[in-house]
Each structure stands twice: as C-alpha cells, then as structure tokens.
Amino acid sequence: MTVSPARILLAVLFAGPMALGSAGVGAAERAPRVQASSAASDLQAQIRGAAAKVKPAIVNIAATVLVRDQALSDEGLPFGLFPEGPPRRQYGQGSGVIVSEGGYIITNNHVVAEATEVEVLLADRRQFKGRVVATDPKTDVAVVKIDATGLPAVAWGDSSRLVVGDFVLAIGNPMGLNQTVTFGIVSAVGRADVGVADYEDFIQVDAPINPGNSGGALVNVQGELVGINTAIASVTGGSVGVGFAIPSNMARAAMQSLLKTGRVVRGFLGATTQDVLPQLGKLFGLPDVKGAIITDVFARGSAEKAGLKRGDVVVRFDGKEVLDSGRLRNWIAVSAIGSKHKLEIIRDGKSLQVELVIQEAPRERSKRITPQVKSEADGHPFGGLMVDEITPAIGRQLGFGSITGVVVTTVDEGSLAEGAGLMPGDLIMEVNRQPITDLLSFQRAVQPIKPKDLSLLLINRQSTYLYIPLEGE
C-alpha cells in the first residue's frame, strides 16, 4: 500500500505507544510519547485550519470552447473546399482562486483559453458568469472576473521562502470533485523545462494533483497562497505524485501587471543564452557544469551596454548561483525595469564582474540545398556532414538575411554530427571560436581537427544561436 508523506509522519509519531505498550515504562520514557502526540496534534490542527481557511476561496471553473472538426469525404480524405465541419461545443473544467473580495479570480490560462463562455461555481454553491479579463500564456496565468462583492479571498504568501520538505496543501476540483484537499511536501523548487509555459520556475509537489486541479491553490500550513497548481507528470493521466505549481510571486506579479497595463512587463537580458553541458563546460574552461552561456548579444540591449560578449558564461546574478539559463531568464524577467544588478561572468577562463541595467522585453508581434562540400573521414567529428555557402537566394530562403556562415545541407544518419544534434538548415557561424564566412574558411577551420578532438561550433537555428560540442571517436 502506498502511504502519503503525511501518513508516514503521523505513523512514526504514533508508533511509540502502540509498539512499546505500558508495562514497565517510567515517567522519563513516557515524556517523549506525550511530546510526539502533541506535535502530531499541532500539525493536524494546522492542516485543518489551513484547509478551512482557504476552501471558501476555491472555485470551480467550467469553460465552453467552440471547435470545428475537419469534414471528410467518403474515402476519409479532407474536402478541399470545405475543410471544416460545423462548430460544436466542447466543455472543460478547472479550478480558480478568489484573490480579491471584489470578484477577481486567478487561474491557469489553459483553463480558459479561447473560451466563449465561463461559468464560476463558488464554494457556497452560488453560480456566476465569468469574464476573462486578462491572460498571459507565457506564464500560463489568467484572470477571471465575476460581478460579486464581499467574497472570501485567500491571503498571498511568499513563494520564495519555500524550501524542499515544507508541508503544502493542494485545493481544487480534481475530476470535478469540488473542494478536494490533498496534502504533501515540496519536492523541489525552480523546476524548468517542463514544457508547459515559456517562463517556468515551478514548485514540484507530491500532494496528489489530478485533471481539474489546474488553476487551484497550493497553500502552506498557515493557509497562505504559495502557488497555482498547473500540471502533472504522468504516464496514465492521473496523479503519480509529481505535480507542478506556478510560484505565487510569479503569478501575483503577472496578474498585477495584466490588470494595470493589459500585458506583463518583463525584464530582458538583451541576449540569448543556453545551458552549460559537460562538454561545453570543458571547452569553456568552467569549474562546474553550471551557468548560462551568452550565444548572441542584441544591439543596444542591456547585455551589450553591460559589456557582455558572445561566449561569456554568467555564473552569478546578484550573488545567487546561476544553475542554468532558465533560472537567469526568470530572475531577469521579474526584475524592475531600470534596476541595476551585479553579474559575475567567466570570459576566457577569467572571472569578471559587470553591472546590468534591466530593460523591458520587446513586445510581441529547415530546407535542403544542393550540397557542395562533404567530409567523408571515418570517425572524424565532421564526417557525414554536408555544407554549402550562403548565397543571397539561400539566405532569403532560410531567413538568415546578411548573416555569414555555411549552411548544413545533409547530416548522415548515425554520424557523430547527428549525435551532436546538428540538423539540415543549421548555419555554422564559428568553429572553435573562429568566424566562418564561406566554404574556404570552413575548410581551413576543420582541416587541423583530428578524429578524437573535441570541437566547439556556434550555429544559428531558426534565429536562435546555440553552441554545440562535437567530438570524434
């Protein structure tokens, strides 16, 4: 039988009296059992109090979306003139958290995205029409408004104070079961690359979370909102004890910005970055496999003004260790526009300090070519790789503009280049930090490389700059 962390704790606390019995136990031995029982009772009271405090502020959100199915012919093929069938209603269900007495509710963007109708069911069974007043897909946050006053609102907590092992409660409407409370611990903080949103700094919890919990509350034992439940990792679609919540600090900042300006104002580095991999750490002479590598610096941006260059590795931000590029991106995104920050970087193996002034992020708004050069050397890191020069026509075709380099046209299956992640359409701009402008410069850079050498490539892939290590065998 699987036992939750809460039951494990209580079982340990209550095991003493049942296992030892009462015969021959003196006063000194009875004292720890009394203390244990008291601690368990205190925890029980905290959990009950937090649940009672927050439950009235948790709502059920039912969203209606119009979808169109593709019309098919008798042979099962799409009709050319009538690619879509008639619209039909599709219903979804999630959770939300009342955060103001005046009717503002925070939830996930994916709960109400493209909804034509939103129904909000309160804990006291009252039902209201909801209006989606603001959304931010990049953090998966949305704000819904209902016309009501005097509503029970949850108190905001400080998610930055959460540490692994803290007790938390997840409250929502899993599987349509309203006002469900589950209990667990914080399993990890700062989870990124989950694949849910562009900006990810998730709290991972083992409190059971299931479909319908999205948009619900993650609270601490004081009954303060520390997260918005968002996603689960599961092979079955049900809870396996790996759930993710948006930190309350991120959700609150997004909501306040949305309501004030209609969009989320974020800080921007003015550069693209990538994570440090073991081979990249070796090539850049880093002491640890940590940090964010600058792969491109935008003109007149924050990074350029701070003196950052391509190939710099950011290892600390205001004294905090930069583990990966996602962590750095999140810290900068939530920084105030115009604020100043200290960055520690490693450039050519030397540690430097620079000052970064945060600017606002800009607002929003692969093909094969005939190969010209191919390396055939067996076991060579560039073996099985075909490249071609960038002509004006090819540059326009692939969207490279005036950028120079050689374009990858073919990567042989099973080759070392394929294993390193190179793809047709990649533009190779540097080899071992040497600029590549044409086929001749590429050949000169590759010629001295031996089969077992470890090389560093800078590529442009669909306007994103990446460093790729390439090693022979």
Stated as kind and residue range, the H or E segment containing 49 is helix 27-54
Query: Helix and strand tally (H, E) in the chain?
Result: 10, 29
**Per-residue DSSP letters for 205-263?**
E-S---TT-TT-EEEETTSEEEEEEEEE--SSSS--S-EEEEEHHHHHHHHHHHHHHSS
Q: What's the rounded Cα separation, in Å, for the pair 446 and 464?
A: 23
Tokens 């759930």 belong to residue? 243
Catalytic residue among 110, 201, 239, 415: 110
User: Is 288 assigned a catalytic role?
Assistant: no
Measured from the Cβ of residue 239, the count of other Cβ atoms closer than 10 Å reads: 20
Which tokens in the block code for residue 371?
């190969």
Q: How far apart are CA 248 and CA 256, in angstroms?
A: 12
Contacts of residues 10-16 at CB distance under 8 Å and 24 or more positions apart, as own/partner, are: 10/40, 10/43, 10/44, 13/37, 13/39, 13/40, 14/40
Encoding tokens for residue 183?
């209990």
Q: Which two tokens stand for residue 271?
A: 């550069």
Helix or strand run (H / E) with residue 10: helix 5-20
166 is catalytic: no
Q: What are phi and psi of 356, to 5 degrees?
A: -110, 125
Out of 95, 159, 187, 214, which one is annotated catalytic? 214
Q: In whole angstroms, what is the distance from residue 315 CA to residue 323 CA?
A: 7
Residues 238 and 175: their CA atoms lie apart, in Å, by: 10
Whether 257 is catalytic is no
Six-digit token pair at 161? 């104070």
| Residue 270 near residue 334, CB atoms below 8 Å | no
State the catalytic residue, choosing from 140, 312, 324, 388: 140
Rounded to 5 degrees, what are φ and ψ at 413?
-60, 130
Cα–Cα–Cα angle for 43, 45, 48, nearest 5°?
110
Find tokens 């590529």 and name the residue: 459
Q: Look at residue 43 and give its three-state secondary structure.
A: helix
Residues 6+ apart with CB under 8 A from 82: 71
Q: State the residue for tokens 């959700």.
A: 251
- Bridge partners of residue 455, in order along the sequence: 470
- Between the two ends of the chain, the Cα-to-Cα distance in Å is 49
CB 29 within 8 A of CB 51: no
Query: What are the catalytic residues?
Result: 110, 140, 214
